[in-house]
Copies of this chain bind each other. A is one copy, B any other.
Amino acid sequence: MTSEAGLSVRVTGQRRTARSHFAFDVALDFAVGLNVLFGPSGSGKTTILSTIAGLLRAESGRITLAGRVLFEHQTHVDLPPDHRRVALVFQSLALFPHLDASQNVEFGVPRSVARAERLERALGWLERMRVGHLARRFPISFSGGEAQRVALARALASEPRALLLDEPFSALDRELAQELSAELIEHIASAPIPVVLVTHDRALAHRLGERVTLLRAGKVERSGSAQELLPEVE
């Protein structure tokens, strides 16, 4: 049921260390617009986003984005992360500590953009995330919520064809979360790409999610609208 421009993910895989093992097997279709990925802690949300971004290699299956094959086990296609044009806001944010906020965001701006314009754009994104005042500051001095917003700005600035957000508002107060999700929706309207949002916040899921997928233990449990899936919101 995926649209031509959507993100289709049908993969199996696993993560293992000497002492643990986690397997996943999912078929997910993320249409253009907002998609909420919901699930208990440890159900594999981050794992699946990493697999889509190309940071983890799936063991079988296929990932396509807007018709383009990012990964296909059978044909040995496995695009490296930098060729996938999938931006990921990490749960751990992963801001570059040696770059200030504007440089962090500039890092994401495509190299095709003229040098002079890159800073402009970076500053623009910081403004939209309400952290323009941090431009010349380094991540070590950001508060939790400030860092989260810079990470969002950086991902958005990279003009991705798909955007994966791993609990991007978890450190923000409600007002700010609402403002930023509004910005996000506005952005999607102008650049129609699939956005996958991982969140534990049911209220947010309700507000944003026409499409919600419920993950449990590495498998899709159900998918549908927020109303159907998460009725018991306060």
Contacts and interface: CB of A to CB of B under 8 A. Distances in A.
Nearest to A136: B19
A3 interface: no
A42 B141 contact: no
State the oligomeric state as a number of copies: 2
A136 B124 CA distance: 46
A146 to B, nearest CB: 6
B20 A176 contact: no
Contact of A172 (B20, B41, B134, B202): B41
A143 interface: yes
A68 interface: no
A46 interface: yes
A41 B131 CA distance: 11
Interface of A: 15, 17, 19-20, 39-42, 45-46, 91-92, 100, 134, 136-138, 140-141, 143-146, 148-149, 166-167, 170-177, 200-203, 233-234
